[in-house]
């Protein structure tokens, strides 16, 4: 009897093949997550920064995250920062518009060449300690009109002094 003549056997063989594929995928994902700190160093441009500075920045960044934020960072490379107003901002790996809510994207650039982890930590601390200043300084792409008055008020309170 060949697998093609017995549908039940063919389904079992297919099930085993899919199961093995899922196991391999899980191992690859686990390996990639274990190597992500190394991959972060490979894919970000900071040739002028010493490795020791990058390592210290990463350690400080992780030390300043809560347990929940750290777990989220390790699993998904993003975490939530909650402002005093109760608004939740999701901060992801450093790129343009890396801070988001359900209906808006925010980009706030930290001036100078500093490690990526220092930039992420600066964004987190600014959101958690002074949301108004964050809103005043951030470049915003919004998908709803509810952000316009909040941003206008923040920019009146903290005028840009370029």
Per-residue confidence (pLDDT) for residue 77, from 0 to 100? 94
The gap between the terminal CA atoms of the chain, to the nearest Å, is 80
Domain boundaries, position 124: 47-157
pLDDT of residue 24: 56
Q: Kindly state whether residue 102 falls inside one of the protein's structural domains.
A: yes
The pLDDT assigned to 29 comes to 56
Strand 104-107, strand 88-92: pairing: unpaired
Inside any domain, residue 99: yes
Task: Tell me if 81 sits within 8 A of 89, measured CB to CB.
Answer: yes
Query: Does residue 87 lie within any of the structural domains?
Result: yes
pLDDT digit string (tens) for 79-115? 999 999 999 999 998 788 999 999 999 998 877 788 8
Question: What number is the average pLDDT over the span 48-72?
Answer: 93
Count how many domains the chain has.
2
**Can you tell me the distance from the alpha carbon of 118 to that of 113, in angstroms, rounded to the nearest whole number?**
10
Give the whole-angstrom CA distance, residue 100 versus residue 144: 13
Put simply, whether the predicted model's pTM sits higher than 0.85 gets the answer no
Q: Do 32 and 91 fall within a single domain?
A: no
Please indicate, yes or no, whether residues 69 and 121 belong to a single structural domain of this protein. yes
Mean pLDDT for 44-50 is 63
CA distance 13 to 22: 14
């Amino acid at each position: 009897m060949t697998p093609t003549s017995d549908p039940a056997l063919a389904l079992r063989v297919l099930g085993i093949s899919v199961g093995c594929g899922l196991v391999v995928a899980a191992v690859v994902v686990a390996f990639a997550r274990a190597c992500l700190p190394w991959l972060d160093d490979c894919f970000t441009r900071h040739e002028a920064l010493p490795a020791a500075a990058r390592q210290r920045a990463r350690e400080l960044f992780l030390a300043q995250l809560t347990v929940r934020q750290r777990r989220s960072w390790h699993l998904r490379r993003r975490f939530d920062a909650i402002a005093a107003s109760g608004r939740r901002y999701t901060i992801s790996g450093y790129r343009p518009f890396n801070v988001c809510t359900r209906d808006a994207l925010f980009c706030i650039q930290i001036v100078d060449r500093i490690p990526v982890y220092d930039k992420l930590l600066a964004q987190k601390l600014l959101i958690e300690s002074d949301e108004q200043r964050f809103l005043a300084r951030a470049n915003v792409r919004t998908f709803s009109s509810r952000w316009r008055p909040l941003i206008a008020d923040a920019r009146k309170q903290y005028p840009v002094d370029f």
